[in-house]
Structure 1
Amino acid sequence: MSEYESSSEKPREYGLKAVRDARVERGRLKHGRISSKAMLVALGSMVAVALAAWFFREHSLADQKEELLSKQRAVVTTVGAEWSALRDTLEKTTLDAAGPYKGDYLDPEASSWDFRGFPGVYLRTRVEDAKDLDSLRKSAKESARDSFVGCLLRPNNPSAAAIARGEDAGAEWQDQPWNLRLGYAATRILTDEWVNGVKDAEDELHLRVFVQQYEKAKSEEIPLTIDIVKKAQFFLLVLDEDVPEAQALTPDAGPNAGKVTGLELQQLPHPTRIHVIDLRRGKEMVRLRREAEADFRFAGERTLRDPSILAAMKRQVNNCALARDVWTAIKSPAEAADAGVSDAAK
């Protein structure tokens, strides 16, 4: 073999081909991959950007919360102070009435003062739920117009809300007398509970709900509430006393499982305190404690069997019987018949 031929001959490769290929591939990857230092720098940059975005968002959210709470504090010191004075008067009356019963009382002018045609405020709760402010405010949220009011007051009593808005008064069954529960709902932005909700808002979407509540309460609900309470001429307060028999009617499940409420008490004969306050003079006109019961029967062969409907009907006839007893006590029996409690109470 010539010298030329031997010099141009390819170098001889030793070992297995698979091993050689693997060695070449490792070399290629070693020189082509990102170094650990570069990877750490990139990862650090991503973390820094994420932290900056989080900080900006949290800082912006905190600023929005503080702006809203600053507005809320301004409302507390203006219209909030006006509402608080009105609310405190009604709450003090309720807490005093829930104490030891002082005995029946009728002001000499009570029989000639037919408050049923005037705008008023109504609250009904259990005596046990009116022992302190916290329990009273919580239970007041459950207060609702019932058949006691429907049977006692005149059906065409003008709408308090419509009068406050300067509209045609009309007659709204759900509106007169105006339930104090609506006042607590309208002024919820003045409470510590609402403030804590703003502070705990997780993001701008949740905070927006509180912003909308604030705007509506400030522009509509709170001014209307104050105007209604100012125009009210009487405060009708009804306090239900517990009886042991009510425990058997409590629900077996749900948030009120085993808890006695007005819904159970109103199905049974139980002592009920009725107070009527003349808000114009700050004077108690009526203080009565009555226990009433009535019954109903179905005409014909078909009868209702739904327990919830039967319970509602029992509450209605009992409350109407109570309304008739109260009005009869305020008026003489003859005058009560002439002046007329609603026909539903007869």
Structure 2
Amino acid sequence: MSDLLAPYELKGLSLKNRIVMPPMCQYSVDKEDGIPNDWHYVHYVSRAIGGTGFIIVEMTSVHPDGRITNRDTGIWSDSQIEAYRRITDGVHAYGSKIAVQLGHAGRKAVDAELPVAPSAIPFDANFKTPQALSKEGISGLIEAFREGALRAIEAGFDTVEIHGAHGYLIHQFHSPLTNSRDDEYGQDPALFGEQVVKAVREVVPVDMPLIMRISAKEYVEGGYDAEYALDVCRRYKDAGVDLFHVSSGGEGPIGSNGGLGAGPAYQVDLAEFIRSELQVPVIAVGRLESFTEAQSIVAEERAELIAVGRGMLSDPYWALHAEEALGGVRNVPKPYERGIWKKG
């Protein structure tokens, strides 16, 4: 039987447990330069101290105009590498592994003077109408993802995740709601994401498992379903994705929160569907704060890894507390031994 606290290996990535901190924007950059600061260092390293096996850094833009806001992180310049190296070194010092999520907000880039997107369709009446990308612009952004991956490797990240979910640029291309182009990128909605995956796969080491976050379902009228997402994921798998991080929504007012009916583990069925149909490992995410529920999902082999977002915002030591609840912490940091029950 699989165990939430058991090690996990995929290619050259070795994790001490199955617990993941998913990317969550902090909106805490100081100078609009995209460089992470002390807040980001403490935020991520504290979760490593707290026992998390795998940390995925917030959506980090490959282009200055690809940030959701100007207070988001970026990885479009070599000047940003050193600050990420400080974070990766800190996380590694406490036995955790770390990835960065490469992304571009597309039409949801609030502070961009002129956002870009597959088509000139605004997110809603409160957002700017984006400029439809030219083919040259598309090529430039594919190269930006490639260069972002190279900087991530230089900064010491253990691998990268490509953001293809939550209504951001790659999602905008593969969704019929937001892609009305009449060229090959409209006739083949998965083409842009596929080309991004191939570009990143070309520059990351062969033993690095490439991760992609996907919205496996849209929550608005006319939005795609899990079967449509499966076909898109198949393309991305064939292009080089090794592990899918399965979320949903983001293209409309419901956002990525699942709506009123969304309760604990509300997206696990979607992750399990992608896993079983494509025979690929998956990260399940979505209100998985319960230690026993997270354990049961892994034990029942519905997902390989469990991402805990809101739970870790509330409790940096969620992983240690999960160990405590599920049988006793084996490797509690010595300064915390008086506060957390240690087994043996």
TM-score of the superposed pair, with normalisation by structure 2 = 0.27
Whose helix proportion is higher, 1 or 2?
1
Q: Which has the larger radius of gyration?
A: 1
Bigger RCO of structures 1 and 2 (CA < 8 A, at least 6 apart): 1
TM-score of the superposed pair, with normalisation by structure 1 = 0.27
